[in-house]
Amino acid sequence: MRNPYRSQKIAYAFLLLSTLLIVVPVGMIVVIIIQKGLPAMNWQFLSDIPRQGMRAGGIFPAIVGTLYLVTGAISFALPIGLLAAIYLSEYSRDNLLTRIIKLAIVNLAGVPSVVYGLFGLALFVIFFGFGASILSGSLTLGIMILPVIITTSREALESVPASFREVSLSLGASKWQTIRHIVLPNALPGILTGTILGLGRAAGETAPILFTVAAFYLPQLPDSIMDQVMALPYHLYVISTQVPNVDEKIRYGTALVLLAMVLFMNLIAIIIRHKFRKRKKW
Amino acid sequence: MTKIITNGLNLFYGKFHALKNVNSGFGENRITAIIGPSGCGKSTLLRVFNRMNDLIDGVRTEGEVVIGEKNILAPATDLVALRKKVGMVFQRPNPFPLSIYENIVFGERIHGDKVKDDKLDEIAEKSLRDVLLWDELKDRLNEPALRLSLEQKQRLCIARVIAVKPDVLLMDEPCSTLDPNATQRVEELMRELKNKYTIIIVTHNMQQAARVSDDTGFMLLGELIEFGNTETVFTAPSDKRTEDYITGRYG
């Protein structure tokens, strides 16, 4: 006789085990990086330029560079992504064109990041002649995070109940007024969440900035958006593989700063979402 | 005075013929009830008057609907102006997730340019007084509207419509989510409001139609079978089908 309770117990154990396995790598990454990187943390490391061929000093230019790139990427991707999301969720009808657009967005999300790098090199650096610059890098990163922003914004817009739109229109508001005063405010937390997740992704990617902006070694801050900058992910790659005899704690310290930046952004996204869930009651 | 006239009104959802040659006249400062079984087209008819059916793809209308000497089915109709004149109260109370105050002044903020705060206060107070909520809520205007009871929410929705100063109030089963006591109080409110507005109410509750309305229309499968004085419709209907429905033989 088969014992259904026994097989259920076995299945349950496997499910639990698989779920726990997800936590393990995350926990280990965080623990190891903190353990090995923390000794490097001090004010000088965060505020000084790299010295002695990146074997000493700090990573300040890389931190600043990453902040510039992230800001540039978002100021390009958020307006375009949000407007596209509004068009797709509020105005477009379901036809061949919009289905092609939606398919394009899904595929854009699946393009490997190194391909974005190559694309950015061909289009922005060479064709538009922006050279390797903050502008080229930001645009490349911006295109990379567009799908994230469009998809999450669309979901946020579509989760606003249809009855809100109906009431607003029935009160004589125009379609745009309805979007502006009713739909957008209620979708804002979701849009912000998506934006911050996009920011986190832009901060951490190496390949798209490799050919478009990142400087190998540039111990000074940029003067304009046409300058190259150092960036944390690329700097980490350089000191880990291209420069011999870099102290381990400098490598892990750099990784820790990058990880902390990304996790901090994700944390903000989680807090916004949590606050919003508590507030929303329809 | 007749406020709304429909002439040979036909409406199609794609191929489905939802309203069939509806001819009717809705009196000013009267409450007209539209009754009929589910799916008979009564809500569709109601939504013709403020063109809310436009939101659905594939809707086509024929004939004319005259409100204030204008055929509102004409393509050139200004929908914003129409919907300011013809307000709607929905089945489910649906305040915005804003404060009580912001719900009421929503229309004014949208329509007025450079609205002054004391004018908004005035509108909020007047509209709340009109729906008999002022005394209850005057100290709670900045609380979220979603915290109100169902009945208060529905009254608030009525106040929100009134604040736009319409001539016509369309009510789509406004009491169907309310308990009997709340229903009774909302019906009293409707009797108050008819002095200022032309009210059309869709209801599946025949007792409600009999209690509250001056005129009644009975619809079946998209046709307006009977239309006239409520007492006549309920006591001496001219069509056999109306009698069958009223006496509970179907629906």
pLDDT tens digits, residue range A19-63?
A: 999 999 989 999 999 999 998 888 888 888 888 877 888 889 999
Measured between beta carbons, which residues in chain A are less than 8 angstroms from residue B87?
170-171
Distance of residue B175 Cα from the nearest chain A Cα, in angstroms: 17
pLDDT tens digits, residue range B42-99?
A: 999 999 999 999 888 889 999 999 998 889 999 888 999 999 999 999 999 999 999 9
- Residues 6 or more apart in contact with residue B20 via CB below 8 angstroms: B10, B221, B222, B223
Rounded to the nearest 10°, the torsion over CA A183, A188, A190, A195 is 130
Decide if B109 and A181 are in contact by the 8 Å CB cutoff.
yes
Decide if A186 and B97 are in contact by the 8 Å CB cutoff.
yes
Would residue A135 count as lying in a domain?
Answer: yes
Measured between beta carbons, which residues in chain A are less than 8 angstroms from residue B88?
170
Would residue A41 count as lying in a domain?
Answer: no
- Say what the pLDDT of residue B201 is: 95
Count of structural domains, chain A: 1
pLDDT tens digits, residue range A73-103?
A: 999 999 999 999 999 999 888 889 989 998 9
Enclosing domain of residue A175 = 60-279
Contact between A106 and A147 (Cβ < 8 Å): yes
Decide if A164 and B106 are in contact by the 8 Å CB cutoff.
no
Give which of A253, A245, A218 is closest to A44, Cα–Cα.
A253
Give which of A183, A164, A174 is closest to B79, Cα–Cα.
A174
- Say what the pLDDT of residue A280 is: 59
Would residue A53 count as lying in a domain?
Answer: no
- Say what the pLDDT of residue B61 is: 92
Contact between B86 and B53 (Cβ < 8 Å): no
Is the C-alpha dihedral spanning A162, A168, A169, A170 positive or negative?
A: positive
Give one DSSP letter per residue of A224-272, joined into a string. Answer: STTS-B--HHHHHHIIIIISTT--HHHHHHHHHHHHHHHHHHHHHHHHH
Q: Does residue B185 surpass a pLDDT of 70?
A: yes
Of A163, A172, A177, the CB nearest to B84: A172
How much is the ipTM here?
Answer: 0.89
Give which of B233, B180, B238, B223 is closest to B33, Cα–Cα.
B233
Decide if B52 and A164 are in contact by the 8 Å CB cutoff.
no
Would residue A42 count as lying in a domain?
Answer: no
Residues of B with CB under 8 A from a CB of A: 50, 52, 55, 57, 80-84, 87-88, 90, 92, 94, 96-97, 106-107, 109-111, 146, 157, 160-161, 164
Token pair, residue B177, equals 């989510």
Measured between beta carbons, which residues in chain B are less than 8 angstroms from residue A175?
none
pLDDT tens digits, residue range B131-167?
A: 888 988 889 999 999 889 999 999 999 999 999 989 9
Of B83, B96, B160, the CB nearest to A169: B83
Would residue A20 count as lying in a domain?
Answer: no
Decide if A164 and B81 are in contact by the 8 Å CB cutoff.
no
Buried residues in A71-105 as b, exposed as e (16+ CB within 10 A): ebbbebbbeebbebbbebbbeeeeeeeeeeebeeb
Give which of A260, A244, A218, A240 is closest to A38, Cα–Cα.
A260
Give which of A30, A14, A2 is closest to A264, Cα–Cα.
A30
Token pair, residue B232, equals 């006549």
Percent of chain B topping pLDDT 70: 98
Q: Which residues pair with B62 in a beta bridge?
A: B10
pLDDT tens digits, residue range A134-178?
A: 999 999 999 999 999 999 999 999 999 999 999 999 999 999 999
Would residue A136 count as lying in a domain?
Answer: yes
Phi, psi of B163 (to 5 degrees): -60, -20
* Residue written as token pair 């259920």: A8
Burial class (CB in 10 A: 0-12, 13-18, 19+), B123: buried
Beta-strand runs (E) in B82-212: 86-89, 168-172, 198-202
Contact between B159 and B197 (Cβ < 8 Å): no
Q: What structural domains does chain B harbor?
A: 2-246 (3.40.50.300)
Decide if B94 and A167 are in contact by the 8 Å CB cutoff.
yes
Would residue A71 count as lying in a domain?
Answer: yes
Q: For the domain that residue A192 is a member of, what is the CATH number?
A: 1.10.3720.10
Token pair, residue A226, equals 């046409």
Would residue A31 count as lying in a domain?
Answer: no
Percent of chain A topping pLDDT 70: 98
Decide if A170 and B87 are in contact by the 8 Å CB cutoff.
yes
Of B50, B57, B96, the CB nearest to A170: B50
